[in-house]
Structure 1
Amino acid sequence: MSEVKNLCLLVEDQPKTQEFLVKAMNQVFPETQVFACTHLKEAKNWLDQMVNSDRKDLFRIALVDLGLPDGSGIQLVKKLRDQFPEVLSVVVTIYHDDAHLFEALSAGASGYILKDENVEMIAGILKRIQNGEPPLSPAIAHRLISHFRIPETAKGRDVDLTARESETLALLAKGFTVAEAAGKMGLSAQTVAGYVKIIYQKLHISSRAEATREAIRRGLA
């Protein structure tokens, strides 16, 4: 067995999926030891232990499923962003909709891979990390491009937001509820709800996913 030079945290509750993800990691990074967890709580405990571990510097990558038995993998992505900012956090999921995608990116994910890819495809996507490229499934890369492509008619017509509106948009993109955002801003929930309504009207959006995408585009998230 090769000398262990890197550590990877894998959080996946389905045995077969866990098996082929370990296989993909071993294929691309043979000197990486994979620690597999099936629950959010188990993964959080592992991270808490890693904070003071003498092997902390070997921790390089985390593969995180979103739909876990005891909660959302988004919680783990946020924990990784806050405690291990140098670790590459990659979501591996069945969800390919805007809401999950932009929530994960806003939470701190550096990659997004769909589980319906085969082992060879996932290995190829992970291999891009060696070249400093973001690990994204082709379908996700195309989705991002299509969402951030600005129509000719919209160029030069960026809508200005007030400081409070920008602050509200940033908090929404980070996953805070209206009530939580109000607490952060020191305002009433009714006032912040009013800001949200104005933001949606100004930007011609109608969902949190669109709000998150716009916040990322504006550099607020």
Structure 2
Amino acid sequence: MESTVGIVEDNKKIRNLIQRYLDMEDEIACPVGVDSVEEMTEYLDEHPAPDIILMDIELPGMSGIKGIGLIKEEYPDIDIIMLTVYHDSHKIFNALRAGASGYLLKHTSLPEIKESILKLADGGAPMSPQIARKVINHFQENTPKKDSDSNLTPREHDIVNGLVDGLSYKMIADRYDISIDTVRAHIRNIYKKLHVNSKAEVIAKSLKGEI
């Protein structure tokens, strides 16, 4: 099934490059690219909403982080991936707290952007590895240590780290030299111990330092 993507990026060269690339891919259609949140909301008023929006943070008019809340309030089914040069912990955290489903840096290659879109459409939470690690470090440094009742095993913590790094089940299996069935069994146990029902919830708990 084809995923539709919109882009909010005020650098016209970057915007056009990404839009042309994505529009040439069989699995993706990219019908709209605009340079502000305000223009995107006008587009959404008149056209079918895309499945996913790639959005910068520093934009003319409303910031991308404020734009997440505005768009998600009216169109909760739209997933938003931040695509930005900013990698400081506060902006990352604020974007995720506002409702972003992923966070990529602008040096991410076009094929990696495509893979992130497909991963998100498949239920993942794409994030540049250095971003995921920075967020985890931020919470570990700023969250008081507390006893966890999750009782995750060391291997289950490994699996959680793989999910946070945006790896597929196969990639997690390859990283730790275990079978995909073993990964799935660990995932089921993790869900049960954390009382969650999705990878996104596991990742959110990890990013908040709750695991």
Superposition TM-score, scaled by structure 2 size: 0.61
Aligned residues: CA RMSD: 3.2
> In the alignment, is residue 106 of structure 1 matched against residue 97 of structure 2?
yes
Q: Distance in 2 between matches of 1:17 and 1:94?
A: 12
Residues 83 and 143 from structure 1, CA distance in 2 versus in 1: closer, same or farther, beyond 3 angstroms? same
Task: Say which SS state the counterpart of residue 70 (structure 1) adopts.
Answer: coil
Check conservation: 1:92, 1:113, Cα contact below 8 A: yes
Distance 2:122 2:37 in 1: 30
Match of 2:45 among 32, 36, 48: 48
Distance in 2 between residues matched to 1:114 and 1:120, nearest whole Å = 13
1:109: Cα distance to partner?
0.6
Unaligned 5+ runs, structure 2: 149-203
The Cα shift of 1:29 comes to 5.5
Select the structure with the greater relative contact order (CA < 8 A; seq sep ≥ 6): 1
CA contact (8 A) 1:94 1:115 kept: yes
Q: What is the identity, as a one-letter code, of the residue corresponding to 1:111? A: G
Within 5 Å, give how 1:94-133 maps onto structure 2. 94-133=85-124
Whether contact under 8 Å (2:82, 2:102) holds in the other structure is: yes
Sequence identity, in percent? Answer: 27
User: Aligned equivalents of 2:140 and 2:26: distance in 1?
Assistant: 34
> Retained in 1: the 8 A contact 2:136–2:209?
no
Superposition pairs of residues 51-62 of structure 1, within 5 angstroms: 55-56=48-49, 59-62=50-53
Q: How does 1:1-221 map to 2 (within 5 A)?
A: 5-26=2-23, 30-50=27-47, 55-56=48-49, 59-149=50-140, 154-156=145-147, 217=208
Q: CA–CA distance in 2 between the matches of 1:113 and 1:135?
A: 7
Which whole-Å deviations, capped at 9, do the CAs of 1:89-116 have from their partners, x for residues lacking one?
1111110001111111111111111001
1:57-85 per-position Cα deviation (integer Å, ceiling 9, x unaligned):
xx211111111122311222112221111
Equivalences, count = 154
Counterpart residue number, 1:207: none
Indicate the residue corresponding to 2:183 in structure 1. none
d(CA) in 2 for partners of 1:48, 1:75:
18
Point out where structure 1 has 5 or more consecutive residues left out of the alignment. Answer: 158-212
The answer for the alignment partner of 1:164 in structure 2 is none
Greater radius of gyration (CA): 1
